[in-house]
C-alpha cells in the first residue's frame, strides 16, 4: 500500500533462522546506509498486507528506526488498486491501535524487486507469483512473512470471505511475526 503525497524456495526455510545475504550487507564504515526496504505482499493489498504494513510500521516507529527501515505493502493482483483497505480490516486494526486509513492499495511492480531488500508474501500462492515475476538480476530476498513466526502455520489466511474472527486471527499472526521480523532485521543489519 502506498501512502498518498513453496517454503523450499525461501532462503529462510526454517522458521526464524534469519536472512540470506542481501544487497545491504556490506556497508561502508562512516557512511549513512540506505534504509532496509521491506515490502509486504498479499493478493489484493486490502486485508493482510496493509495490516502487516501498519503493525510493522508501528513497531519500527516505537524503536525510532523509521530512518533505517522502510516498509510498504502491495498486492499481486490489480483489482483493488487505488482503494483503501477493506473496512473490516481497518475496524479490527483500529481496535488494537493501528491506523490503516491513509493506506491505498497498489500492485507489485518490477521496480519493487530492486527497491526493496525483502519481499514477504502472506501465502504460498503470492510467494510463487513473486518468484515468477522476479527479474533475473534482482537480488532481493523473497520469502513467506510467517518464516519469521514461531506459529505452526506457514501462511496468513485471507480473511476476505470470513467473519470478524478471521481479521482477528490475521492480527494475532501478524503481530507475532512482525515482532520477530523486526528483531531479525535489527540483528542482521544494525548490530555492530
- pTM, entire model: 0.86
The pLDDT score that the predictor gives to residue 33 is: 79
**Annotated catalytic, 6?**
no
| Catalytic hit among 47, 48, 70, 123 | 48
Question: Tell me: the pLDDT tens digits for 127-137?
Answer: 999 999 999 99
**Domains of the chain by start residue, with CATH:** 34-186 (3.40.50.2300)
Residue of 42, 106, 129, 140 with catalytic role: 42
pLDDT beneath 50, residues of the chain? 3-28
Q: What cell numbers appear for 179 in the block?
A: 515482532
Active site residue 140: no
pLDDT at position 87 is 96
d(CA 121, CA 107): 13
11 with 141: CB under 8 angstroms?
A: yes
47 counts as catalytic: no
Amino acid at each position: 500500500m502506498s501512502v498518498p503525497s513453496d517454503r523450499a524456495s525461501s532462503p529462510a526455510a526454517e522458521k526464524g533462522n534469519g536472512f540470506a545475504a542481501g544487497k545491504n550487507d556490506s556497508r561502508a564504515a562512516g557512511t549513512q546506509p540506505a534504509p532496509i526496504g521491506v515490502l509486504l505482499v498479499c493478493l489484493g493489498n486490502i486485508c493482510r498486507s496493509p495490516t502487516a504494513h501498519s503493525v510493522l510500521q508501528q513497531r519500527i516507529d516505537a524503536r525510532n528506526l523509521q530512518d533505517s527501515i522502510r516498509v510498504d505493502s502491495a498486492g499481486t493482483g490489480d483489482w483493488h488498486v487505488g482503494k483503501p483497505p477493506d473496512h473490516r480490516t481497518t475496524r479490527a486494526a483500529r481496535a488494537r491501535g493501528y491506523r490503516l486509513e491513509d493506506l491505498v492499495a497498489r500492485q507489485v511492480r518490477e521496480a519493487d524487486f530492486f527497491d526493496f531488500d525483502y519481499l514477504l508474501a502472506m501465502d504460498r500462492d503470492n510467494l510463487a507469483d513473486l518468484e515468477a515475476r522476479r527479474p533475473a538480476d534482482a537480488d532481493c530476498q523473497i520469502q513467506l512473512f510467517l518464516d519469521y513466526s514461531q506459529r505452526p502455520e506457514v501462511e496468513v489466511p485471507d480473511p476476505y470471505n470470513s467473519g470478524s474472527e478471521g481479521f482477528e486471527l490475521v492480527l494475532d499472526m501478524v503481530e507475532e511475526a512482525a515482532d520477530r521480523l523486526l528483531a531479525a532485521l535489527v540483528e542482521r543489519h544494525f548490530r555492530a
